[in-house]
Copies of this chain bind each other. A is one copy, B any other.
Amino acid sequence: MTQATIKTAAMLAIGDELLSGRTKDKNIGHLADMLTVAGIDLKEVRIVGDEEEAIVAALDALRSRYDYVFTSGGIGPTHDDITADAVSAAFGVPCEHDADAMRLLGAMYERRGMEFTEARQRMARMPRGARHIPNPVSTAPGFVIGNVHVMAGVPQVFQAMLDNVISTLPAGAKVISRSIACPFGEGDIGTLLAGVQKAHPDTSIGSYPQFDGQRFSTELVVRARDAAAVDAAAVAIEAMIAAISAEKDAARAKDLGTGELA
């Protein structure tokens, strides 16, 4: 297992509704979970509105920097769905009605006795040369061009498309993580934890403060691609928590006049 096998990814979530607060994104967290399980490092996320220039600029920055880019949103049939056009522009290819997508969608609407309107035909548009991402929920496919995977914004559809994408990616070395509940706030553990991190450089130790309205506690998460490294760091963290507990107990005993010094 070498670092060279680790793939990186970025996400671009597209939609004015995400920036206005009208819709609260649910796709970023889901993609993050799925990529972690797949052993792919999500390194950056951007959210932009339905503006071609903004989408193209973000796509160009991300697709050159990371192994995979995943987008959500903007591939429906309305006037503000411009993701296919923007992706085509970024790749410098025409955006056109894909023959297979036209057949799939045409057949679906015929089965349902619905008209295959001009608006609905927009959902068959994709960059020339793109491959489909199947959409088992509502038929209209996502697509892949280069390293960019274009998916729907509706969470049920995004998730179904992602299931179809993720299995096609070469899996990275999986990240193993271990979570350790720590009853102390970050201020109590910060200096010692920095020492643990330094002593275990092959791991990434995250510290996530939790606040119950009264006091902070912390969840500590050790991540690494090597199980033995995770174990070693976890042992060190548990020893750290025990040492802080003992110190606090001693201080309390001293305050109460019942400690060794009393």
Residues of A participating in the B interface, judged by any CB pair closer than 8 Å: 16-25, 28-36, 41-49, 54, 58, 76-81, 109, 114, 117-120, 122-123, 137-138, 153-154, 156-157, 175, 177, 186-194, 197-198, 204-211, 213, 216, 221, 223
Interface contact B46-A117, CB-CB below 8 Å? no
Q: For the complex formed, measure the closest distance between the CB of A197 and the CB atoms of chain B, giving whole angstroms.
A: 5
Which residue of chain B is the closest to A116 with respect to CB atoms? B187
Assuming A47-B44, A156-B213, A157-B211, is B29 touching A186 (CB within 8 A)?
no
A-B contact pairs, 10 of them (CB 8 A): A17-B221, A18-B28, A22-B177, A28-B47, A43-B54, A44-B54, A78-B194, A79-B190, A79-B194, A80-B205
Taken together as a complex, chains A and B put the C-alpha atoms of A114 and B187 apart, in Å, by: 10
Taken together as a complex, chains A and B put the C-alpha atoms of A78 and B197 apart, in Å, by: 10
Interface contact A211-B138, CB-CB below 8 Å? yes
Interface contact B78-A190, CB-CB below 8 Å? yes
Taken together as a complex, chains A and B put the C-alpha atoms of A40 and B207 apart, in Å, by: 33
Among B22, B32, B48, B175, the residue within 8 A (CB) of A44 is B48
Among B187, B193, B221, the residue within 8 A (CB) of A79 is B193
Interface contact A190-B117, CB-CB below 8 Å? yes
Interface contact B77-A186, CB-CB below 8 Å? yes
Taken together as a complex, chains A and B put the C-alpha atoms of A258 and B193 apart, in Å, by: 77
Q: For the complex formed, measure the closest distance between the CB of A7 and the CB atoms of chain B, giving whole angstroms.
A: 14
